[in-house]
A and B are shown apart, each in its own frame.
Chain A
């Protein structure tokens, strides 16, 4: 995993709450056995019309969304299934961070393991971001702040170990593997 420090980008806003993983990546795309190429199916039911043409009304199909790395979504983003295909699809689409007031547990955990930064902020600043799509943001992971174009800094909470792993590109599996002796002792003591 690539280390993450700063993410600078305009935002794109999806003004809905409770966006679930079935919206992020519908189940019919989960029959894949790899991670590659899921970005083309991200938000598929919203992005494409019944005849498979792109829906010009949907925000992610518009010019303003091109190249945006930061997704701002309504309350409770990522609820529903445990499919890691959801963060894989968002990353493959080009997102590096998701901002909401609440992010569902499993989605958050899956995102952190793939280098998609889940950013949970307070209601007031979130409401401002929702009302101002396309604003330029800088997310500084080291200091856990996001800075608006006007210089206003907003802090966000992120679990310390997850932050450490993202900043240093540390793979959790390696961390657990280092404990294999302790794991074995635990198994012997319980047997």
Chain B
């Protein structure tokens, strides 16, 4: 009998053009390369300097999201793009894609959006593929059983020129989540709890496979939220074995296989799971029944606690105390009831249709508290249209929230959407690092339900007060 293999091993081995040796890393083939405006300009410059072409334009797809405006007036050209250097970067991407013949979802494309939202949405993200992008949240695509990871700009150049990367084989970590998530507990709470448990460097050098009944019960949107934040635990990639939920999501998407090709693909995808008895380098178990809504209190995603918990007391730890000082918080403080100034519902973690539906469910017929700025930024133009068809935009704007064009927006604050110094923001994004949402900004990461509930109350609030099922 063949040795049992993990999902990761199956995908890795199919993509080894040259296997690794003691002296040299593997040459790994890349099926899909996603490109955006921030991490690609220097890579295209390298190609130009060396007189190289993009080797497989058919495996390369570009979009603009990071420094791209989300203000409808800027997108429509009624006012100039606020951040001059960002406008320059957007222009540069257009020029590079035209020169090198790369498909680009440009500013006015109806398919444009955050790179990790549009890949799956178009059906370009598929089980068993190797997918890279010059962005650490490429791990998102692992929700489909792909091996997907972030790379730097030099590597972007390598993939553009050769469709391959030099890689050492990572280790594997299985995280099994059994049980059933309770009322008001979302995929976001689950991944925050996992990071709280294993730590922000807990996954370094590893690829995580998420499994167990609580993972299988998640929608594709939820699975993407979980895999998205694998990098916040230090892992290169997160993966979930594809199943009927995955196939149902992909069927009929423009870049997914069609007709007879589809049936053949599904047959192959069904093989993509860890065999019984397959060995992982490490295993972690989590009981999904015990999870509650989570919120971060510090300056990395591992500094996280239950929404109704207390900030831990590590007064003797200067690094911990520096982080709390930045956040303006004290040990033993409760966050529930803490006044906030901003709510951001968006990012590649939580800006898909079901995230917006959840937030709308909480906001419907209610008003954003006075003094709170609430910003709702859909993950893609398609999600924007779908949400508008369901009139979610009306629910948000009636409540007093802003409804934007798609993009990364306040997750990274490159396009001018920022949080002021000292202000608290409950955000559905993935990073609460110092200054991430603007210099001096204080970020509290949480789910869309918690963010929406906090917008209504004007302070950190428990979403379970608003959610009935």
Contact = CB atoms under 8 A, between A and B. Distances in A.
Interface in B145-198: 150-155, 157-158, 161-166, 168
Contacts of A83: 38-39, 152
A182 B38 contact: no
A76 B18 contact: no
B226 interface: no
A160 B23 CA distance: 6
Contact of B413 (A28, A84, A161): A28
A176 B27 contact: yes
Nearest to A175: B166
Nearest to A35: B42
A39 interface: no
A186 B29 CA distance: 9
Contact of A84 (B66, B152, B431): B152
A62 B166 CA distance: 40
Interface string B344-372: 00000000000000000000000000000
A133 interface: no
Given A18-B302, A173-B46, A186-B17, 15 more contacts: A18-B319, A20-B300, A26-B435, A31-B38, A32-B41, A33-B88, A80-B433, A84-B154, A105-B204, A106-B151, A161-B23, A173-B50, A173-B162, A177-B161, A179-B162
Interface string B418-435: 000100000000010111
A179 B67 CA distance: 36
B89 interface: yes
A31 B412 contact: no
Given A27-B412, A84-B39, A113-B152, A16 B319 contact: yes
A168 to B, nearest CB: 13
A135 interface: no
Interface string A101-129: 01011100110011000000000000000
A55 interface: no
Interface of B: 17-18, 22-25, 27, 29, 38-39, 41-42, 45-46, 50, 66-67, 83, 85-86, 88-89, 92, 134-136, 138, 150-155, 157-158, 161-166, 168, 200-201, 204-205, 231, 234, 236, 300, 302, 318-319, 322, 412-414, 421, 431, 433-436, 439-440
Interface of A: 15-18, 20, 22-23, 26-28, 30-35, 45, 50, 74-76, 79-84, 102, 104-106, 109-110, 113-114, 159-161, 164, 172-173, 175-177, 179-180, 182-183, 186-187
B136 A177 contact: no
Contacts of B155: 109, 113
A104 B204 contact: yes
B179 to A, nearest CB: 30
Contacts of A179: 17-18, 27, 162, 164
Given A22-B436, A81-B136, A82-B136, A173 B161 contact: yes
Contacts of B435: 22-23, 26, 45
A79 B38 contact: no
24 contacts: A18-B300, A18-B302, A22-B434, A22-B435, A26-B435, A30-B67, A32-B41, A33-B41, A45-B434, A80-B431, A81-B135, A82-B39, A82-B135, A83-B152, A84-B152, A102-B204, A105-B234, A109-B151, A172-B158, A173-B158, A176-B162, A179-B27, A182-B17, A183-B163
A27 B436 contact: yes
